[in-house]
Chains A and B, each alone.
Chain A
Amino acid sequence: DAKTTQPNSMESNEEEPVHLPCNHSTISGTDYIHWYRQLPSQGPEYVIHGLTSNVNNRMASLAIAEDRKSSTLILHRATLRDAAVYYCILRDQNSGGSNYKLTFGKGTLLTVNP
């Protein structure tokens, strides 16, 4: 899987928007961009994924650059419960077998201040 680069940590205030960036300059045409997060002492949790167009769901929005070399996860109003490590992962959706695995990097530790 292609590599992603994220800041080690970010800080936000409660009820403010948060923009978490991810660079993936070697992304291929069949790579989907996935975001997961891991709250303290829990397993990772799916947040959102997309290919080319921006995506919205009840948890977040995903903004994908036109050249697809970067993307941004947007939490519209951060809450204390959003404090977690956020992982940006590329997955070739056409690959099967053990390539279903997710390769988690170090992610971004998001701190939310009250």
Chain B
Amino acid sequence: DVKVTQSSRYLVKRTGEKVFLECVQDMDHENMFWYRQDPGLGLRLIYFSYDVKMKEKGDIPEGYSVSREKKERFSLILESASTNQTSMYLCASRGALGFRSAEQYFGPGTRLTVT
């Protein structure tokens, strides 16, 4: 079974702190994603990576950056956390394009609270 793990389930940080959210997948997937999920807004894509050191902005990249130094690991960085970044953060991965690898595998999520 594919496993996507996230470094923390719950995190509380102060405004202005630098925050690192880590995601690791064990299926050698090329593509990895960071989403955030908020009530009434659904899942929104923050950043996407299709290969090591490659990244693309999603729909809401402002205030975030990412790092992908190794294929299995994709990190989301909040340079200076703000209260409007309080959210559930979900990491996902998927294989290369093709019918059999269509599904995205999600991690359990990190609920981040910025005070």
Spell out A's residues near B (CB within 8 Å): 32, 34, 41-46, 49, 91, 93, 96-98, 100-106
Q: Number of B interface residues at 8 Å Cβ cutoff, please give it.
A: 27
Which of B12-20, B67-75, B79-87, B95-103 binds A? B95-103
Q: Which residue of A lies closest to B2 (CB)?
A: A46
Dominant secondary structure at the B interface: strand
Q: Give A53 to B50 CA distance when docked, in angstroms.
A: 30
Residue of B nearest to A102 (CB): B104
CA distance A45 to B45 in the complex (A): 17
B31 touches A100 (CB 8 A): yes
Pick the residue among A45, A91, A101, A105 that contacts B102 (CB under 8 A): A91
Question: Is B58 a contact of A101 with CB atoms below 8 Å?
Answer: yes
Chain A interface mostly: loop
**Which of chain A's residues have a CB closer than 8 A to the CB of B48?**
97-98, 100-101
19 A-B residue pairings within 8 Å (CB atoms): A34-B102, A34-B103, A43-B91, A43-B92, A43-B106, A43-B107, A43-B108, A43-B109, A44-B43, A45-B106, A46-B103, A46-B104, A91-B102, A98-B56, A98-B57, A101-B48, A101-B58, A103-B42, A106-B42
